Structure 1
Amino acid sequence: MRNMNKLPPSELKKYLAHLKVKPSELIFFIAKPVIKRRALLITNIILLFALAFLNFLVPQFTKTIIDVAIPERSTSYLVHEVLLMLGVTALIGLLSFANAYLMQRLSLEAIADIRLATYNKLLKQDYGYFQDTKTGDLMVRLTSDIQNIQLLVSNNTFSLVSQAFTFVGVLGFLYIRDWKMALLISLTFPILYLNIQFSRGHIREANAKMRRNLSKISNQLQSTFTQIELIKNYTTEAHESVKFDKLVKEGNHYQLDVTKWQNILSPVTTFVNTVGTAIVLLFGGYLIINHELSIGELVAYISYLALLQAPITLISQVINNFQNALVSYDHIEDVMRVTEKVVDPVNPQPFPNPLQNGISLNNVNFHYTGSESPILSHITFNIPAGKTTALVGRSGAGKTTLIKLLTRMYDTSAGEINYDTTEIRQMTLKDLRQHISVVSQDVTIIDGTIAENIRYGSFGATKDKILQAAELADILNFIKSLPQGLETQVGERGVKLSGGQKQRLSIARAFLKDAPVVVLDEATAALDNESEKLIQHAFDNLMQGRTSIVIAHRLSTIHAAHQIIVMDAGKVVEKGNHATLLQQGGLYKMLYDLQFE
């Protein structure tokens, strides 16, 4: 995936050149959710054409009043035309309101589709995708990037369609009435076009730089708020402030660059439009002096000139939005273009529940995409059903990676993983993962109530089931001691809970899921001895009767494991139970002795 945050300045122009092939794709991308709402779209188009026709009529009333009603001194005719003009203007206001409201509704609904599609695409991405992509950058794609695209699904953009027809109609009308006047007016259009073309590339480049800076700011904020404890402990507030200040000033520079080119485009457009008005006044005044044109016709010409200039002026605004949206669309397409590698099979097989034999790994190898360095090499062993298997080894031995393969966060580079006789790739990801409960050292707590945390993933669970799970996880007494009980808010990332309480909440969540396979990934590594003893009882409850896989940091917790797999440098080097491995005097005994020296 191409990430603009990693592009050096020298590559930016090449990237922008790549963007030049995208306008049609962006238009098609926006058109799909818009066309889906045909009724709203057709209603808005009808309103726009009605507004175009009514706006064309207004100068005719002015011309009639000046050239007919006033010279004839007809008060009734004057009142009649003025009332008609007011009525048409009032109708224009009413239709404009309806058009703006319905257009905003169309825009919001269409963009909601795009945002949801992008969000769903992100949710479907492989686990490895999120290891390589910054959170702040993903947040920018779902917020400001989509907001930039929303500016294109707006009243201004759709008005261009009706105004284009108005432009052709009015210009044709003027050529029929006086081709010389129309030709002189038309001379200003190429100047406007060239001005827009000149500014367009600069606006796009400035917007691209500003978008890169916005991603950096978002990543910096995300990093700051998730690492605030580290910042406080090491008193690096000043250092972080300097980094943020640099990004803000860089952003200000790019914003000023955007403003500069926008404000070069706008005044030049205004000046050229004024030149057009001057041409009409000069040539029209000459014709009036020579009795070849009436004053009413001149006033009408000036009004029609405004109708001709309006779409050209609007183009400058829409082009700015389009350039910005083009950059944002490219970043959204970065997500849409990624193909997931870990996918469901065409003809899935059900998870074998209950497991009869267990889980078998046959000559499993794994390395990350783009790297030939093996993380796991020729892993072969069985995990018996209904029993506990422990994985031990030095840090970096590949234990957690192995768990990621068992839950299919990654696919093996070679070899097979079977649940009974069903190969892991033959099951859907949902079916596989619904039958596995994972409790890890890094407990994930959502910002909500205790009940919401326990119920997460088992959303239909009753209150009684939640309380039963809490009791099995040895956290029910703590919950009952709280004034609001299950409805107690735990705070963002569970800041109101201790490490042991968070761990027991995650165990209760696993109990409620009631999966036949349980994975404990160094689940007590961050706890003190007292907390570990309290939680170990909950773990014993959880593992009872289930196929359990335990990654153990403290070897004292796995004495009773039916099988211990010792790993080193991505390979299995020893197998057996606690007593057997101690007798062998290999790596397991060395690790065990180091902990109990």
Structure 2
Amino acid sequence: MTNSSTSSTTGSTTGDTASAKVPDSDRKGSLSAFKGLFPFLRPYRRQFLMAGVALVMAAASTLAIPYAFKQMIDLGFGASAGATSIRNVNATFLALFGVATVLALATAARFYIVSWLGERVTADIRSAVYRHVVNQSPEFFETTQTGEVLSRITTDTTLIQAVVGTSISMALRNMLLFLGGLVMLFVTSVKLSSIILGLLVLVVVPIVLFGRRVRKLSRDSQDRIADASAMAGEILNAMPTVQAFTHEKIESTRFGASVEGAFQTAMKRIRSRAMLTMFAIVMVFGTIVFVLWLGAHAVLAGTMTGGDLGQFILYASIVAGSIGALSEVMGEAQRAAGATERLLELLSAKSTIQEPAQPLALPARAANGAALALSDVTFTYPSRPDSPALSRLSLNILPGETVAVVGPSGAGKTTLFQLFLRFYDPQSGSITLDGVDIRRLELHTLRDAIGIVPQDTVIFSADAMENIRYGRAGASDAEVIAAAKLAAAHEFIERLPQGYKSFLGERGVRLSGGQRQRIAIARALLKNPPLLLLDEATSALDAESERLVQSALEAAMVGRTTVIIAHRLATVQRADRILVMEDGRIVETGTHASLVALGGIYANLAALQFHHVHVVH
């Protein structure tokens, strides 16, 4: 009904529901966000250990290569020509081939294991985030754009996959090469190594400080991409409206501006990354060239051998390469840290609707439906704290009773349904189902006992059979068809190209409004709940379909409690009781005849509608 949609719109517009909204990032200047990934990494300790062994073997093989070259130079080329020199060269090259073989095997094993870890951990994170999001209350979705959530589940997890599947391994590998190479540099020449180490410290400090700016820009870039994604999702889901109002150019321009903003933010990040990389390479290799220049003079002076200098050059290259790779990995890690923060924000969002610590069970189902009662209920939407949707409302609905709720838009009718389903909790008062406070029930227990046909019918991208089976996942094909017949949907489904196996299109675009409504009714009937909620269930039907569905609904109401919301009073005249709401209160109660005789709000509504119908005919 309108009051619900109004409140929902207000909630999404104001966005002041702090308890449900994804909190803002604290944008820390470190990589501490990765600590939140430990629960996802912990189950795969054995795989990480195997990757670590392969990593150490690969690093050790790499570090052995310069020593082999030293032996080749000093024992092969440095010795007098002859059989001994040839044997030394042959042995050195044979050893090099053996080292290369170990390096190849270890590198392949490391690549396979860490790639598997990246895919596995990313899949776990995506599942965990999605599972957490779908359990959030409607309040969460009033204040969080769906496109932003999708961006975090897809784009952000891809960045984390790169870190887990590549960057962590590369970082550890290059850290081992850096440390191992540094040790071997000191073994080769303490003097030259001390000089190079001191200069590298002066170089690394500004690199780390500048890297913090890159990380902040990375987070900003991801935010802009999420904004563009959210805008695109919203517009694509409303294309008929956009085209009906000829807003194609306006929306294209608006999206283009958003994409351009994301591009400009990304270019800031790219420029900063480029400057960081350039600075790191120039300074690191400049330091190494300077030290090697000193080493060349030492060889000429006879204080170093040619093999020592060759070994020093190779180890220096390994150290320099590892530093360059670490700076590159650091840039990727900083970008992924922002993505990790965004995902952890989603995982830390707490639903305002909490499961009870010790849930109760519903009593055995009665043959004639469920009893429903409201006691002194007051409810205010979080987005409109000064405007109560319901005020001190009390109501008793007996098992098997059919109760219709009517009233002007904004009276609080659909709010009742949202409270029955516990999408929200009232600020005061209580709601009971078969005598049990619904806050003491598990959400699945409560909602399994309720079937609803909403005003805005949702059709999934699946065939007709699966769309109806959504009401009860384990239902057989025969049960689905029986529910469709009861909802007067069987005939039009049979006329579809593949019958019940016909794909209905995204959001049911291949169906008329009335057909979508009957699919939703069949879905609710298949569920077979003791409590049935009908929110304008026949609003989108033509006269013939309404007659068919009304007859089906009357049969479906037998043996269950039914609450009907309707603007069209012709659909509620045969209700056991009609409640008239205004400003969140029940102002009139009775049958159609008694309320017309009362001459109040209902009588005025009836006079307007039936007079209009009379004039039209």
Q: In the alignment, what sits opposite 1:394?
A: 408
Q: 45-54 vs 350-359, which deviates more?
A: 350-359
Q: In the alignment, what sits opposite 1:506?
A: 520
Which residues of structure 2 form unaligned runs of 5+? 1-11, 17-23, 612-617
Question: What is the deviation of 1:503?
Answer: 1.1
Q: 553-562 vs 84-93, which deviates more?
A: 84-93
Secondary structure of the 2:134 match is helix
| Alpha-carbon distance in structure 2 between the residues aligned to 1:238 and 1:159 | 46
Matches of residues 440-589 of structure 1 in structure 2 within 5 Å? 440-589=454-603
98, 104, 107: which is aligned to 2:115?
104
Query: Judging changes above 3 Å, is the alpha-carbon distance between structure 1 residues 159 and 483 closer, same or farther for their aligned structure 2 residues?
Result: closer
Query: Judging changes above 3 Å, is the alpha-carbon distance between structure 1 residues 22 and 596 closer, same or farther for their aligned structure 2 residues?
Result: farther
Letter in 2 for 1:541: A
231, 235, 251: which is aligned to 1:240?
251
Query: Do 1:384 and 1:547's aligned partners in 2 also have CA atoms closer than 8 Å?
Result: yes
| Alpha-carbon distance in structure 2 between the residues aligned to 1:181 and 1:105 | 42
Question: What is the deviation of 1:21?
Answer: 6.3
Q: In the alignment, what sits opposite 1:68?
A: 75
Q: In the alignment, what sits opposite 2:276?
A: 265
Letter in 2 for 1:143: T
Secondary structure of the 1:151 match is helix
Query: Do 1:521 and 1:550's aligned partners in 2 also have CA atoms closer than 8 Å?
Result: yes
Query: Do 1:30 and 1:153's aligned partners in 2 also have CA atoms closer than 8 Å?
Result: no
Q: In the alignment, what sits opposite 1:137?
A: 148
Query: Do 2:34 and 2:337's aligned partners in 1 also have CA atoms closer than 8 Å?
Result: no
Query: Do 1:61 and 1:85's aligned partners in 2 also have CA atoms closer than 8 Å?
Result: yes
397, 419, 422: which is aligned to 1:408?
422
| Alpha-carbon distance in structure 2 between the residues aligned to 1:21 and 1:544 | 64
Which residues of structure 1 form unaligned runs of 5+? 8-14
Question: What is the deviation of 1:280?
Answer: 3.4
Q: In the alignment, what sits opposite 1:92?
A: 103
Superposed CA offset, 1:480-539 (max 9, x none): 223422111111011111111111111111121111110000122233333322322222
1:178 correspondence with 2:185: no
Q: In the alignment, what sits opposite 2:449?
A: 435
| Alpha-carbon distance in structure 2 between the residues aligned to 1:287 and 1:357 | 95
Question: What is the deviation of 1:256?
Answer: 1.1
Greater relative contact order structure (CA < 8 Å, 6+ sep): 2
1:385 correspondence with 2:406: no
Secondary structure of the 1:124 match is coil
Secondary structure of the 2:457 match is coil
279, 284, 299: which is aligned to 2:295?
284
| Alpha-carbon distance in structure 2 between the residues aligned to 1:176 and 1:62 | 15
Secondary structure of the 1:351 match is coil
350, 360, 364: which is aligned to 1:349?
360
| Alpha-carbon distance in structure 2 between the residues aligned to 1:460 and 1:185 | 70
1:372 correspondence with 2:397: no
Identity of aligned residues (%): 31
| Alpha-carbon distance in structure 1 between the residues aligned to 2:307 and 2:29 | 48
1:251 correspondence with 2:265: no
Question: What is the deviation of 1:226?
Answer: 0.6
Matches of residues 149-188 of structure 1 in structure 2 within 5 Å? 149-188=160-199
Q: In the alignment, what sits opposite 2:31?
A: 23
Aligned length: 586
Q: 70-79 vs 241-250, which deviates more?
A: 70-79
| Alpha-carbon distance in structure 1 between the residues aligned to 2:465 and 2:191 | 79
Question: What is the deviation of 1:150?
Answer: 2.4
| Alpha-carbon distance in structure 2 between the residues aligned to 1:357 and 1:486 | 32
Question: What is the deviation of 1:457?
Answer: 4.0
Query: Do 1:391 and 1:552's aligned partners in 2 also have CA atoms closer than 8 Å?
Result: yes
Query: Do 2:369 and 2:559's aligned partners in 1 also have CA atoms closer than 8 Å?
Result: no
Query: Do 1:204 and 1:324's aligned partners in 2 also have CA atoms closer than 8 Å?
Result: yes
Q: In the alignment, what sits opposite 2:59?
A: 52
| Alpha-carbon distance in structure 2 between the residues aligned to 1:525 and 1:28 | 52
Query: Do 2:449 and 2:529's aligned partners in 1 also have CA atoms closer than 8 Å?
Result: yes
Letter in 2 for 1:19: R
Secondary structure of the 2:163 match is coil
Query: Do 2:369 and 2:530's aligned partners in 1 also have CA atoms closer than 8 Å?
Result: no
Question: What is the deviation of 1:22?
Answer: 6.2
Superposed CA offset, 1:214-240 (max 9, x none): 121111111111110011111111101
Query: Judging changes above 3 Å, is the alpha-carbon distance between structure 1 residues 436 and 224 closer, same or farther for their aligned structure 2 residues?
Result: same
TM-score by length of 1: 0.94
Query: Judging changes above 3 Å, is the alpha-carbon distance between structure 1 residues 159 and 101 closer, same or farther for their aligned structure 2 residues?
Result: same
| Alpha-carbon distance in structure 2 between the residues aligned to 1:416 and 1:87 | 77
Q: 335-344 vs 449-458, which deviates more?
A: 335-344
Query: Do 1:350 and 1:427's aligned partners in 2 also have CA atoms closer than 8 Å?
Result: yes
Letter in 1 for 2:58: L
Query: Judging changes above 3 Å, is the alpha-carbon distance between structure 1 residues 22 and 398 closer, same or farther for their aligned structure 2 residues?
Result: farther
Query: Do 2:375 and 2:430's aligned partners in 1 also have CA atoms closer than 8 Å?
Result: yes
Question: What is the deviation of 1:207?
Answer: 1.6
Secondary structure of the 1:19 match is coil
CA RMSD for the aligned pairs? 2.1
Secondary structure of the 1:389 match is strand
1:32 correspondence with 2:39: yes
| Alpha-carbon distance in structure 1 between the residues aligned to 2:387 and 2:269 | 45
Secondary structure of the 2:51 match is helix
Query: Judging changes above 3 Å, is the alpha-carbon distance between structure 1 residues 559 and 115 closer, same or farther for their aligned structure 2 residues?
Result: same
Secondary structure of the 1:152 match is helix
Letter in 2 for 1:88: V
| Alpha-carbon distance in structure 2 between the residues aligned to 1:142 and 1:230 | 28
Query: Do 1:280 and 1:301's aligned partners in 2 also have CA atoms closer than 8 Å?
Result: no
Secondary structure of the 1:416 match is strand
Letter in 2 for 1:506: A
Letter in 1 for 2:557: M
Secondary structure of the 2:537 match is coil
303, 315, 321: which is aligned to 1:304?
315
Q: 569-578 vs 154-163, which deviates more?
A: 154-163
Q: In the alignment, what sits opposite 1:10?
A: none
Query: Do 2:455 and 2:535's aligned partners in 1 also have CA atoms closer than 8 Å?
Result: yes
Q: 73-82 vs 300-309, which deviates more?
A: 73-82
Question: What is the deviation of 1:558?
Answer: 0.6
Secondary structure of the 2:589 match is strand
Q: 149-158 vs 426-435, which deviates more?
A: 149-158
Q: 40-49 vs 362-371, which deviates more?
A: 362-371
| Alpha-carbon distance in structure 2 between the residues aligned to 1:364 and 1:313 | 65
| Alpha-carbon distance in structure 1 between the residues aligned to 2:357 and 2:166 | 44
Superposed CA offset, 1:188-217 (max 9, x none): 322331232232132123222212211211
| Alpha-carbon distance in structure 1 between the residues aligned to 2:335 and 2:453 | 44
| Alpha-carbon distance in structure 2 between the residues aligned to 1:482 and 1:162 | 60
Superposed CA offset, 1:397-434 (max 9, x none): 01001110011111111111112221111111101101
Query: Do 2:136 and 2:351's aligned partners in 1 also have CA atoms closer than 8 Å?
Result: yes
